[in-house]
Amino acid sequence: MNAPQPMTLKKPPAANTVDRAAGGVNRARWLRNALPGISLVVLLATIFIMQPRAMSYMGMNLMLNLAVPIALATIAQMLIITVNDLDLSLGSFISFVACVAATLLNDHPLLGCLVLLGCIGVYALLGALIHSRRLPAIVVTLGMSFIWVGGAVLLLPAPGGSAPQWLQALVKIKTPVLPFAIVVCVVLAVAVHLFLMRSRFGVVLRGAGGNPLAMAKAGWSLLRIKVTLYALAGGFGVLSGLFLVGLTTSADANMALRYTLLSIAGVILGGGEFTGGRVSPIGAVLGALTLVLAGSLLSFIRISPDWQIGAQGAILILVLALRTAVNRLEVRPV
């Protein structure tokens, strides 16, 4: 769905229709940007009606604190998707980070920090490798996923370990008025939005996904762009793993495997697309929250477990169908 293209193919219409068309496109674009927010609000309202107990500080905290690592993972995935790649190793990477945090970081803080920095370095190298050898990112990251899981099993052959005390205390901070989970999500969304959508460098990063040739011709190093984005993704992955292990207090080599697909779904739900550098950080965070809340809602409705996974898929398809409809509005303005 590369929306603007069919517009340029059309014959130039009369001046007043152009205005009206532009208005339609704007409205459609606004709707498209608002869709992740609207679906989240609808979901939240349904939950509050079903389970009024959720409408409290403690309720929101319980429902959303496991959403923070997913939101961080979604941002990491979004950075990779920005340059039209896909990271299939994210879930196992986050599991690995969690295992490092529950073992090395706890026993030898310095060594643990070095390993985590090394992880970010590995992500940067991956970006360089994928760019310079023109390898498909899906295949490289799929291979890496086995390496991360293997490393996690070596560190922690049986589930266990213990997250550092400061980490456990950090994720349990009680902020005034709004629960910590919501504060983190808001800060995360706004910060990444300002960086990626508003800063000059952010435009360059997105441009590398939208039109790499033009960026290269304009004198930007695509290698450096990819390395930056991959390193940033690795950084958010590390944050996600740390936050997760702070919540669970101990680790398991398989604990976050599900995050790979969740993060991709979160990006797409939040209005991102697989091609063309079209991503939205705020949308991605909202998408991650939507996914988590959809799970809560199904549990509150007491849908039989046999149907739950299907119902979760149905919610996803519903939101995506809405978006396709909005996209169509954008292509064919009234």
Provide the minimum distance between the beta carbon of 22 and another protein in the complex, in angstroms, as a whole number.
44
Instruction: Using alpha carbons, select from 328, 296, 278, 259 the residue that is nearest to residue 40.
Output: 296
Site for another protein in 152-171 (CB under 8 A): 153, 157-161
Q: Which of 149, 251, 268, 269 binds another protein (CB under 8 A)?
A: 251
DSSP 155: H
295 near another protein, rule: CB under 8 A? yes
Provide the minimum distance between the beta carbon of 217 and another protein in the complex, in angstroms, as a whole number.
44
Tokens 């309202």 belong to: 45
In the bound state with another protein, the residue whose beta carbon lies nearer, of 227 and 257, is: 257
185 near another protein, rule: CB under 8 A? no
Provide the minimum distance between the beta carbon of 73 and another protein in the complex, in angstroms, as a whole number.
11
Q: Quick check: 35 and 322 in contact, CB under 8 A?
A: yes
In the bound state with another protein, the residue whose beta carbon lies nearer, of 162 and 211, is: 162
- Separation between Cα atoms, residue 36 and residue 265, nearest integer Å: 12
Reported as type and span, the H/E element at residue 80 is: helix 67-82
- Separation between Cα atoms, residue 25 and residue 176, nearest integer Å: 41
Provide the minimum distance between the beta carbon of 94 and another protein in the complex, in angstroms, as a whole number.
10
Residues in the chain: 334
Query: Could you tell me how many residues of this chain bind another protein (CB under 8 A)?
Result: 38
- Separation between Cα atoms, residue 90 and residue 142, nearest integer Å: 9
Joined together, the tokens standing for residue 311 give 């119902």
Strand partners, 251: 160
Interhelix angle for 259-269 vs 281-301, to 10°? 110
Provide the minimum distance between the beta carbon of 53 and another protein in the complex, in angstroms, as a whole number.
6
- Separation between Cα atoms, residue 79 and residue 88, nearest integer Å: 13
Instruction: Using alpha carbons, select from 317, 228, 277, 263 the residue that is nearest to residue 69.
Output: 263
312 near another protein, rule: CB under 8 A? yes
In the bound state with another protein, the residue whose beta carbon lies nearer, of 161 and 271, is: 161
Q: Which of 7, 211, 249, 274 binds another protein (CB under 8 A)?
A: 249
Mask: binding to another protein, 101-140, rule CB under 8 A, as x and -?
----------------------------------------
**Is 87 in a helix, a strand, or coil?**
coil
In the bound state with another protein, the residue whose beta carbon lies nearer, of 136 and 150, is: 150
Mask: binding to another protein, 39-68, rule CB under 8 A, as x and -?
------------x-xx----x--xx-xx--
Provide the minimum distance between the beta carbon of 250 and another protein in the complex, in angstroms, as a whole number.
4
285 near another protein, rule: CB under 8 A? no
C-alpha of 265 from chain center: 8
Stretch near another protein under the rule CB under 8 A, chosen from 1-9, 36-44, 181-189, 305-313: 305-313
257 near another protein, rule: CB under 8 A? yes
77 near another protein, rule: CB under 8 A? no
Strand partners, 160: 251
Ordered DSSP codes for 8-47: HHSPP--HHHHHHHHHHHHHHHHHHHHHHHHHHHHHHHHH
Residues at the contact surface with another protein, assessed by CB under 8 A: 51, 53-54, 59, 62-63, 65-66, 69, 153, 157-161, 244, 247-252, 254-259, 292, 295-296, 299-300, 302, 305, 308-309, 312
